[in-house]
């Protein structure tokens, strides 16, 4: 009820009371007027006038009597005095304001004039000598006789005047009384209203007082039962309230604490000064750094002197000039300890995870370089015309090597995805063509296994899409590969379908293979999952395929799911956002003259052997190759010749690949020509940095022929020529470079190794130059098929700063290598 009747009555009440006061004043004034009027009526305001009028008649009669009875001179004084009295009456009529009305009325004025005239005539007679007065007595009597009628009329006039006057007064009184009535009525109403308002105010006040006492009781209970310590501190810094929780937390009894300065009790010594300064500042400037700033963490002190962490929230309560600080404190020692423990546990876990990740990445990377060396060598050997038996062994080696490389790549891909590297930029491509050629490429494998691989595309004519083609390709390849792998004999079907929303494309890869048990369905997307032993036997793999697939799908904003029935087959479904796009304009190729697929290539690589090997491989494929040993030379070559593609090593001495690219682009030396990076850095962030610098793409060293052919085909518009099989081995090396050149390189290599050996023997600790040299020689050793020597070199490169250089394996490996190389050093 009071909610609906808010603060309004305060000014209304004041207004009403003021009105009542004004009305009361007015009624008092009117009442006074009424009293005056009543008094006037009761004392017969015109008594005096009436009396005067009637007395005039009386005195006139007396005068007449005196005149009629006067005979002797002795009677005259009495006559004269009586005349004087009569005279004075008439004079009053002429002078007094009481008879203003009489004098103003024409009849009254005429009457008075007539009587005054007679009076003057009689006065002349009265004032004369006794004899003449006696003589004129009869005249006087006659005059008086005439005058008596007028005097009578005058008296009647008075009556008329009085009636009019009293009527006026009555009307006046009536109107005053009426006004008084209204005023009193209004006053009563105003008073009634004021009473009503006062009543409401009273009830409201009582309600508020009750609310307040209830709230106070509740507050008391809340403070008492609070689990947090609550302190109320006055502006003087002394404690005013100290609840039960505060007693528990700080160890002081409430009686001990109240009235004491808070700073002495619970603020640690090293914070006391800051506290006092802060308090001073707040009281002077009102600037608070603690109060009202929410939760803060600080240190507090118990009675025992122990310091402990608290969470603190201070608010300022100000009413008038009275300021109190209300502090809520919570002992968070336990929480802080638990947090510390958790943080340590988490840090350890993260560090362990990171170490595992690093180990995997480094291991894989370190494995890949020699592996590609092995594979390259196998390819070269196959071209040397081996016997059928050798060819079979080589084939087995190649298959094993490729499988191992695949696994290593899986692990690297996983770590690359894990580190969140932006995989690939959005491109516009033909989805139907991509899927078609992908399925086509797997047909041979499918037919080999007796599987019917079919494709059904339903893209509603919108086959040009915007997306990440390589990721799509990889995902589909993984799924189709899996399906083929786990289907002994039967069918694998690939369905591509655009959903009605126009943006999403769904891919289904279904097989009639062995299927997956329901309890395993959840696990297949986890890392390193290989299902049961038989499943594992039927196929090889790291167990990373599906987890990579899932990561790729998620990175593209899609979803992947799997349904399967054991013995019946599996269905993998992917939905990816691949909105339809307009076909890009055909690539401008006017600057790229092609000669039967041959391209003009520029290679910048500081490692002599790698450079020569790369150049030889590419020349064997029919390309025109210009090879330079550094960044500066690359810039110069780019300025002198025209190239379809530049392959650039990143880490080169002096001018590195990135700097060289910057200069080429700045000087516009090779506009329209892509520059592809060659790097041994497999880490995702390195790739990002390199792409950011302006490289078209990154090839990870050592690049195999297929990768190079692909890049050249895509970037230089060339390639596509059937590649003759290359060989790797010292012999292949000789074949590639030519006998003379290869021998010179080999001799230089031996000399350099020996030189390093001598230097290391002489010095106590490894120097930076030694490491670089070892790195360089390790690369050459890999190409020459000297794995022991390479390992020894890498050991030197990565040996600890202060440890003894690992010379023994180096010497051993070099002794073996020398024996291998010796026949080739002589012509």
Phi, psi at 316, each rounded to 5° = -105, 130
Q: Measured from the CB of residue 63, what is the shortest distance to other proteins in angstroms?
A: 11
CA distance to 252, 255, 653, per residue, from 258 (Å)? 10, 6, 77
| DSSP symbol at 598 | B
Q: How far is the CB of 91 from other proteins (least distance, A)?
A: 7
Cα dihedral: 811, 816, 818, 824 (round 10): -160
Burial label, 256 (beta-carbon count in 10 A; 0-12, 13-18, 19+): middle
Verify binding: residue 48, other proteins, rule CB under 8 A: yes
Instruction: Give the residue, chosen from 50, 55, 105, 357, that forms a contact with other proteins under the rule CB under 8 A.
Output: 55
Question: Does residue 639 sit in helix, strand or coil?
Answer: helix
List the one residue from 22, 33, 50, 62 that touches other proteins (CB under 8 A).
62
Pairing label, strands 674-679, 427-430: unpaired
Whose Cβ is closer to other proteins: residue 52's or residue 728's?
A: 52
Residue 741 token pair:
């050149």
Neighbours of 54 (CB within 10 A): 13
Candidate residues 19, 61, 98, 464; the one interacting with other proteins per rule CB under 8 A = 98
Q: Which residue has the tokens 């350099």?
A: 752
The answer to whether 96 contacts other proteins (rule: CB under 8 A) is yes
Report the residue number, 69 or 595, with the smaller CB distance to other proteins.
69
* CB-nearer residue toward other proteins: 77 or 567: 77
By CB under 8 A, residue 182 contacts other proteins = no
Nearer to other proteins, 41 or 342 (CB): 41
Q: Is 73 in the site for other proteins (CB under 8 A)?
A: no
Minimum CB separation of residue 210 from other proteins in Å reads 57
Contact stretch for other proteins (CB under 8 A) within 84-92, 446-454, 544-552, 713-721: 84-92
Residue 121 — left, alpha, or beta (φ > 0 → left; ψ -120 to 50 → alpha)? alpha
Beta partners for residue 677, in sequence order: 648, 698
Applying CB under 8 A, among 21, 32, 35, 39 the residue interacting with other proteins is 39
Shortest CB 80 distance to other proteins, Å: 9
Binding other proteins by CB under 8 A: which of 10, 32, 35, 43? 43
Question: Is 81 near other proteins (CB under 8 A)?
Answer: yes
**Residue 65 or 207 having the CB closest to other proteins:** 65
Our CB check for other proteins shows the closer of 78 and 392 to be 78
Any contact of residue 40 with other proteins (CB under 8 A)?
yes
> Residue 92 interacts with other proteins (CB under 8 A)?
yes
**44 interacts with other proteins by CB under 8 A:** yes
CB of 177 to other proteins, least distance (A): 21
**Nearer CB in complex with other proteins: 95/433:** 95
Which of the ranges 13-21, 88-96, 433-441, 806-814 carries the binding residues for other proteins, by CB under 8 A? 88-96
User: Which one of 31, 50, 84, 713 is in contact with other proteins (CB under 8 A)?
Assistant: 84
User: Quick check: 29 binds other proteins (CB under 8 A)?
Assistant: no
Q: To the nearest whole angstrom, how small is the minimum distance from the Cβ of residue 30 to other proteins?
A: 19
How far apart are CB 132 and other proteins at their closest, in Å? 19
Beta carbon of residue 174, minimum distance to other proteins (angstroms, whole number): 21
Under the criterion CB under 8 A, does residue 77 sit at the interface with other proteins?
yes
Least separation in angstroms between CB 10 and other proteins:
43
Nearest to other proteins of 3, 104 (CB atom): 104
By CB under 8 A, the count of residues binding other proteins is 23
Binding span for other proteins by CB under 8 A among 89-97, 191-199, 479-487, 737-745 = 89-97
Task: Sort strands 307-319 and 569-577 into parallel, antiparallel or unpaired.
Answer: unpaired
434: preceding bond cis by omega (within 30 degrees): no
Q: What whole-number distance in Å separates Cα of residue 413 and Cα of residue 677?
A: 18
| Residues 665-684 interacting with other proteins (rule: CB under 8 A) | none
Q: How many CB atoms lie within 10 A of CB 392?
A: 11
Helix or strand holding residue 279 (H, E): helix 269-285
Residue 96 vs 493, nearer CB to other proteins: 96
From residue 228, alpha-carbon distances to 156, 250, 338, 383, 742 in Å are: 105, 11, 19, 84, 84
124 binds other proteins (CB under 8 A): no
- The region of 77-85, 140-148, 313-321, 640-648 touching other proteins under the rule CB under 8 A is 77-85
651/632 Cα distance (integer angstroms): 13
Distance CA 415, CA 546 (A): 14
Does residue 47 touch other proteins according to CB under 8 A? yes
C-alpha torsion sign, points 166, 167, 168, 171: positive
Token output for 82: 């009586």
Cβ 82 to other proteins shortest distance, Å: 8
Using an 8 Å Cβ cutoff, are 332 and 310 in contact?
yes
Question: Which is closer to other proteins, CB of 62 or CB of 238?
Answer: 62
Region from 40-48, 642-650, 665-673, 812-820 binding other proteins, contact rule CB under 8 A: 40-48
For residues 147 and 243, which CB has a smaller minimum distance to other proteins in the complex? 147
Helix ranges (H only) for 383-424 are 388-418
* Residue 88 or 739 having the CB closest to other proteins: 88
Strand locations in 197-321 (E): 229-234, 239-242, 296-301, 307-319
* Residue appearing with tokens 């000297």: 786
Burial pattern 426-459, b for ≥16 Cβ within 10 A else e, equals: eeebbbbebbbebbeebeeebeeeebebebebeb
CB < 8 Å & 24+ apart, contacts of 121-125: 122/83, 123/83, 123/87
Binding site for other proteins (CB under 8 A): 39-40, 43-45, 47-48, 55, 59, 62, 77-78, 81, 84-85, 87-88, 91-92, 95-98
């Amino acid at each position: 009820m009071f909610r609906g009747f808010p603060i309004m009555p305060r000014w209304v009440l004041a207004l009403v009371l003021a009105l009542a006061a004004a009305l009361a004043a007015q009624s008092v004034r009117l009442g006074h007027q009424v009293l005056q009027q009543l008094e006037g009526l009761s004392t017969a305001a015109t008594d005096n006038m009436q009396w005067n009028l009637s007395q005039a008649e009386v005195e006139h009669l007396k005068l007449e009597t005196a005149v009629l009875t006067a005979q002797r001179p002795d009677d005259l004084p009495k006559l004269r005095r009586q005349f004087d009295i009569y005279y004075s009456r008439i004079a009053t009529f002429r002078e007094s304001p009481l008879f203003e009305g009489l004098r103003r009325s024409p009849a009254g004025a005429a009457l008075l004039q007539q009587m005054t005239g007679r009076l003057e005539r009689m006065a002349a007679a009265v004032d004369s000598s006794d004899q003449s007065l006696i003589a004129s007595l009869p005249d006087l009597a006659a005059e008086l006789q005439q005058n008596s009628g007028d005097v009578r009329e005058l008296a009647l006039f008075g009556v008329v005047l009085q009636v009019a006057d009293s009527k006026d007064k009555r009307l006046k009184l009536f109107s005053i009384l009426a006004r008084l009535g209204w005023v009193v009525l209004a006053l009563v109403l105003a008073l009634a209203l004021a009473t009503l308002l006062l009543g409401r105010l009273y009830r409201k006040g009582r309600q508020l007082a009750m609310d307040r006492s209830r709230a106070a009781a509740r507050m008391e209970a809340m403070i008492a039962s609070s689990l947090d310590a609550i302190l109320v501190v006055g502006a003087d810094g002394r404690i005013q309230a100290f609840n039960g929780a505060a007693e528990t937390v700080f160890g002081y009894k409430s009686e001990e604490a109240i009235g004491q300065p808070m700073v002495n009790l619970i603020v640690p010594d090293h914070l006391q000064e800051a506290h006092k300064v802060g308090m001073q500042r707040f009281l002077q400037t009102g600037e608070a750094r603690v109060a009202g700033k929410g939760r803060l963490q600080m240190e507090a002190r118990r009675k025992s002197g122990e310091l402990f962490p608290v969470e603190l929230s201070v608010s300022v309560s100000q009413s008038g000039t009275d300021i109190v600080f209300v502090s809520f404190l919570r002992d968070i020692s336990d929480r802080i300890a638990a947090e510390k423990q958790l943080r340590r546990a988490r840090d350890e876990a993260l560090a362990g995870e990171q170490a595992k990740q690093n180990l995997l990445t480094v291991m894989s990377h370190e494995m890949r370089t020699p592996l590609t060396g092995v594979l390259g060598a196998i390819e070269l050997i196959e071209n040397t015309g081996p016997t059928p038996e050798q060819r079979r062994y080589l084939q087995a080696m190649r298959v094993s090597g490729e499988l191992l490389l695949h696994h290593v790549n899986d692990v690297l891909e996983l770590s690359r995805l894990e580190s969140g590297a932006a995989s690939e930029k959005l491109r516009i491509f033909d989805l139907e063509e991509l899927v078609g050629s992908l399925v086509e490429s797997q047909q041979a494998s499918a037919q080999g296994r007796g599987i019917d691989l079919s494709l059904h595309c339903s893209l509603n004519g919108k086959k040009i899409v915007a997306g990440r083609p390589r990721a799509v390709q990889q995902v589909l390849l993984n799924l189709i590969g899996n399906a083929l792998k786990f289907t002994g004999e039967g069918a694998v079907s690939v369905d591509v379908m655009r959903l009605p929303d126009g943006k999403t494309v769904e891919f289904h890869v279904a097989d009639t293979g062995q299927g997956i048990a329901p309890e395993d369905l959840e696990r297949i997307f986890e890392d390193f999952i290989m299902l049961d032993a038989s499943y594992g036997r039927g196929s090889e793999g790291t167990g990373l395929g599906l987890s990579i697939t899932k990561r790729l799908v998620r990175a593209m904003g899609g979803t992947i799911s799997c349904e399967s029935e054991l013995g019946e087959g599996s269905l993998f479904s992917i939905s990816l956002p691949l909105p339809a796009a307009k076909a890009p304009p055909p690539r401008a190729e006017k600057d790229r003259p092609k000669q039967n697929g041959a391209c003009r290539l520029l290679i910048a690589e500081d490692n002599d052997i790698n450079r020569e090997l790369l150049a030889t491989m590419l020349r064997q494929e029919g390309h025109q190759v210009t090879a330079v040993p550094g960044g500066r030379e690359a810039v110069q070559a780019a300025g002198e010749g025209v190239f379809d593609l530049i392959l650039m090593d990143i880490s080169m001495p002096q001018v590195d690949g990135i700097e060289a690219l910057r200069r080429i682009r700045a000087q516009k030396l090779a506009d329209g020509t892509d520059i592809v990076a060659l790097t041994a850095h497999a880490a995702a962030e390195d790739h990002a940095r390199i792409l950011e610098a302006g490289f078209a793409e990154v090839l990870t060293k050592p690049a195999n022929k297929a990768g190079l052919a692909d890049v050249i085909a895509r970037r230089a518009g060339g390639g596509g020529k059937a590649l003759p099989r290359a060989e790797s081995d010292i012999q292949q090396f000789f074949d590639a470079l030519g006998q003379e050149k290869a021998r010179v390189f080999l001799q230089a290599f031996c000399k350099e190794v020996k030189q390093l050996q001598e230097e290391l023997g002489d010095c106590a600790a490894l120097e930076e130059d030694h490491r670089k040299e070892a790195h360089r020689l390790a690369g050459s050793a890999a190409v020459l098929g000297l794995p022991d020597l390479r390992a020894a070199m890498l050991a030197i490169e990565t040996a600890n700063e202060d440890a003894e250089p690992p010379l023994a394996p180096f010497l051993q490996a070099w002794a073996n290598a020398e024996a291998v190389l010796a026949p080739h050093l002589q012509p």
